[in-house]
């Protein structure tokens, strides 16, 4: 499949990126709410990243807070020796304690942005970040404008190449887009949850639409059924208010499972798996999209990377999915 471009930056990446939240391992907030995806095996994470590289993946998305620095460390260690072949996106804005693996608070100051960037560069073993992203989706527009200007300064210093806001609000994304080196927005998009206003903004402003939660936090991987409970220690087992797919007890809700059942056959047609079909829907949705599915195993890395060989849904398949979801 052809490559995609990170908006105005012109930086070319594989059409699929790899989301590195889960490989951060376990961490929590100050109340003990799990914020990771449970225990992960670092050796497996390293093997999975290597498999991704072998399969042509050149784009990796992480955040300083994932595993309170651990995700960046694993990525930095594994990509050492490949730095010129890959494009790295990370995020800042949350404060955390790596000793206790706890997320503490948020910090929107310019000083903190510089300190956070310095630490990310060290953990990622690099001299620059390709795409630096504000991780506070609900920060106010005024704060966003100030941090956009801070990012422009980082570009001038050669510390970052481009920047983006991770937010689901097109108005906030538009504030960042006023900066010449803003190249994208990271937002939620999957076959069950479209984002037409954000995609229109990306088309108008030439921004990459970097798609988090493309597999609906695992549901579109196909192994969860209605009522199934997520593992203890996994964020899905005790979901915060914003996490929709699992109920308060960590069980897959029948509503979301039903929506997947409605489109399963079309997505998983041909030689595609359900996960590959879900990624194919995103590519068909807009030429600006770059899905970044998370992964925990070599098998998932392999299956997701191979989705690029199938490419986007055909227009007929895309229309069929729309029809089925509308009927549902």
Q: Applying CB under 6 A, which residues contact ligand NAP?
A: 19-22, 37, 61, 91, 135, 137, 166, 186, 212-218, 221-223, 275, 292-296, 300, 303-304
We find the least distance from the C-beta atom of residue 146 to ligand NAP, in angstroms, to be 20
Residue among 150 and 191 whose Cβ is closer to ligand NAP: 191
Residue among 223 and 241 whose Cβ is closer to ligand NAP: 223
Query: What is the rounded CA–CA span in Å between residue 144 and residue 241?
Result: 24
| E strand segments, 41-174 | 59-61, 87-92, 94-97, 102-106, 129-134, 160-166
Residue among 40 and 316 whose Cβ is closer to ligand NAP: 40
We find the least distance from the C-beta atom of residue 5 to ligand NAP, in angstroms, to be 19
We find the least distance from the C-beta atom of residue 66 to ligand NAP, in angstroms, to be 7
Q: Which residues fall within 8 angstroms of residue 118, CB to CB, at 6 or more apart? A: none
Q: Give me the residues paired with residue 294 across strands.
A: 19
Residue among 99 and 138 whose Cβ is closer to ligand NAP: 138
Cα 192 from chain centre: 16
We find the least distance from the C-beta atom of residue 94 to ligand NAP, in angstroms, to be 10
Taking phi over 0 as left and psi of -120 to 50 as alpha, with beta for the rest, 233 belongs to left
Cα 37 from chain centre: 14
We find the least distance from the C-beta atom of residue 166 to ligand NAP, in angstroms, to be 4
Residue among 20 and 316 whose Cβ is closer to ligand NAP: 20
DSSP class of residue 324?
Answer: H
């Amino acid at each position: 499949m052809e490559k995609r471009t990170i908006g105005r930056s012109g930086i070319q990446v594989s059409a699929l990126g790899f989301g590195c939240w889960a490989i951060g391992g376990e961490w929590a907030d100050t109340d003990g709410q799990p914020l990771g995806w449970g225990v992960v095996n670092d050796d497996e994470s390293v093997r999975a990243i290597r498999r991704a590289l072998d399969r042509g993946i050149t784009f990796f998305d992480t955040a300083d807070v994932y595993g309170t620095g651990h995700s960046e460390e694993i990525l930095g260690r594994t990509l050492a020796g490949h730095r010129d072949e890959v494009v790295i996106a990370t995020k800042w804005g949350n404060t955390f304690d790596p000793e206790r693996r706890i997320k503490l608070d948020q910090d929107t100051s310019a000083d903190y942005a510089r300190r956070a960037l310095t630490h990310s560069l060290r953990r990622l073993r690099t001299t620059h970040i390709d795409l630096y992203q504000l991780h506070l989706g609900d920060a106010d527009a005024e704060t966003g404008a100030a941090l956009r200007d801070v990012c422009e300064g980082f570009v001038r210093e050669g510390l970052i190449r481009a920047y983006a806001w991770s937010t689901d609000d097109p108005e906030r994304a538009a504030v960042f887009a006023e900066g010449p080196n803003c190249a994208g927005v990271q937002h939620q998009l999957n076959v069950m949850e479209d984002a037409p206003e954000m995609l229109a903004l990306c088309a108008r402003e030439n921004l990459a639409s970097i798609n988090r939660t493309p597999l609906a936090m695992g549901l579109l991987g196909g192994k969860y059924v209605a009522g199934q409970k997520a593992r203890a220690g996994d964020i899905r087992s005790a979901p915060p208010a914003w996490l929709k797919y699992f109920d308060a007890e960590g069980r897959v809700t029948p509503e979301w499972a039903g929506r997947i059942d409605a489109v399963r056959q079309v997505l998983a047609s041909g030689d595609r798996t359900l996960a590959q079909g879900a990624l194919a829907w995103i590519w068909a949705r807009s030429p600006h999209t770059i899905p970044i599915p998370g992964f925990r195993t070599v098998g998932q890395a392999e299956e997701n990377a191979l989705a690029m060989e199938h490419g986007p849904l055909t227009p007929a398949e895309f229309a069929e999915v729309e029809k089925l979801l509308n009927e549902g």
